Amino acid sequence: MEQTVMGVYVILKEGVLPDDDPQDIGVLIEGVEVLSDLSSIAQACALLFGLIYCLNLSYPPELKCNFEVLQKIFLNLNGQRLSSKAQFLKNKLTQYKHFDSISCKEVTLTYQNHV
């Protein structure tokens, strides 16, 4: 986790199923755990975006497209202006009947499975 620029982490107890309650959910920025013991992945995503905005951070270059899709398509924040890659993905997603029901809580930026 020390090498993670920014992201949401989920720690599961050993031997549990992915649908079981996690041991911990939190937010990392520059390898430092800045928030922990959060109640859901959706809350962690929202708080991560809030921290990025409040601290005036830039998206990591290698995750720029991921964050743009989360921000502009799933959260519908400034969704009118999309990069060509994000617009292509949005066009593909809108072909699916249930696209409007997709939510941020289904998305995990960083996943860690610890003992």
| pLDDT score for 47 | 93
Average pLDDT, the chain: 80
Could you give the CA distance from residue 89 to residue 72 in angstroms, rounded to a whole number?
A: 11
SS3 state at 79: coil
Position with higher pLDDT, 8 vs 97: 8
pLDDT tens per residue across span 26-78: 999 988 999 999 999 989 988 998 999 899 999 888 888 888 888 888 777 87
- DSSP SS3 for 27: strand
Question: pTM for the full model?
Answer: 0.70
Dihedral-angle region of residue 6 (phi above 0 means left; psi in -120 to 50 means alpha; beta otherwise): beta
